[in-house]
Amino acid sequence: MYRLENLRKVFDGDLVAVDDVSMKVDHGEQVAVIGPSGAGKTTLFRLLNLTLYPDGGSLWLGDLDVGRLHGRGLRAARRRIGTIYQQHNLVPRLSVVHNVLAGRLGAWSGWRAVWSLFHPQELEAAHGALTQVGIPEKLYARTDELSGGQQQRVAIARVLVQEPEIILADEPVASVDPNLANAIVTLLVEISRTSGKTLLMNLHSVELALAYFPRVIGFRGGKIEFDRPPADVTEEMLGRLYAGISRSEAEEAGIPTPHESPLICYGPLFPRK
């Protein structure tokens, strides 16, 4: 689904966010990307969902060279990719059905999109997506009356009705409690497995990445530090990946630090599922 060859992105002329990255992601793979804050993970995902153009190297989506895409071709390519964000990006005062059906806007004409505000179109698709995420009864609920976890499920349902080939999840569980985080990650991985959709997830939690994903990429300083199955990710790899981060960042990522040091160091890893 993706082929990256020496991909590079630079901001303000000298801030290198993605630096000479090469990798492949096959159809139907589930991949977790981990690394410290400021590593360039979100910029990488913005390149992958085609909202940013690379400043160097090549990015291929299937057999399409993204650097050659413009206008209608670029819009068609973007419809193949569904993105889930840390912020739900929902319209609070609209009902759930309207927020879910926003995932169809790229496929609808302008008049149909306007008409759907008064008479929701493709109700069966919206209900089916909400059934997949476990909240079909919320179809006509007002979105701002839902819990944070339910709103994230609405955001996932919005991506499902888009019918993308690829799901990119950029820190989708950063603002939820651990139990809900596990549930949402499990849901997305299961959707990928049952539908054959490619899933890439940017995660702050090392524990979730190692527990649920068959492939884990460590990203730091705009570069890939390692690309391994979870069983091959060692303490030394994680120590180098998160070297120098603060105690609070280490705790948020689920990496233990000694009480006597404010910086990350090697230590026993948590149990893996």
Domain ranges in the chain? Answer: 1-80+166-273, 88-163
Backbone angles phi, psi at 205, to 5 degrees: -90, 115
| Contact predicate 48/2, CB 8 Å | yes
pLDDT mean across residues, the chain: 87
Give me the mean pLDDT over the 92-120 stretch: 84
Is residue 54 pLDDT above 70, yes or no?
yes
Find the Cα–Cα–Cα–Cα dihedral 225, 231, 232, 238, rounded to 10°.
Answer: 40
Would you put residue 62 in left (φ > 0), alpha (ψ -120 to 50) or beta? left
Gyration radius (Cα) of the chain, Å: 19
Give me the mean pLDDT over the 64-85 stretch: 92
- pLDDT, tens digit, for every residue of 137-160? 999 999 999 988 899 899 999 999
Is residue 74 pLDDT above 90, yes or no?
yes
Highest mean pLDDT among 173-177, 179-183, 255-259: 179-183
Is residue 220 pLDDT above 90, yes or no?
yes
Higher pLDDT, 86 or 108: 86
Give me the mean pLDDT over the 109-116 stretch: 77
Q: How far is CA 93 from CA 97, 140, 176, in A?
A: 12, 12, 22
Q: Say how many residues make up the chain.
A: 273
- pLDDT, tens digit, for every residue of 181-207? 898 899 999 999 999 999 999 998 999
Residue 107: the pLDDT is 73
Residue 256: the pLDDT is 57
Residue 253: the pLDDT is 67
Is residue 257 pLDDT above 70, yes or no?
no
Is residue 38 pLDDT above 90, yes or no?
no
Query: What pLDDT band is residue 263 in, cutting at 50, 70 and 90?
Result: very low
Higher pLDDT, 109 or 218: 218
Residue 86: the pLDDT is 79
Q: Return the closest-CA partner of residue 146 out of 158, 157, 162, 135.
A: 135
Considering the domain delimited by 1-80+166-273, tell me its CATH architecture.
Answer: 3-Layer(aba) Sandwich (3.40)
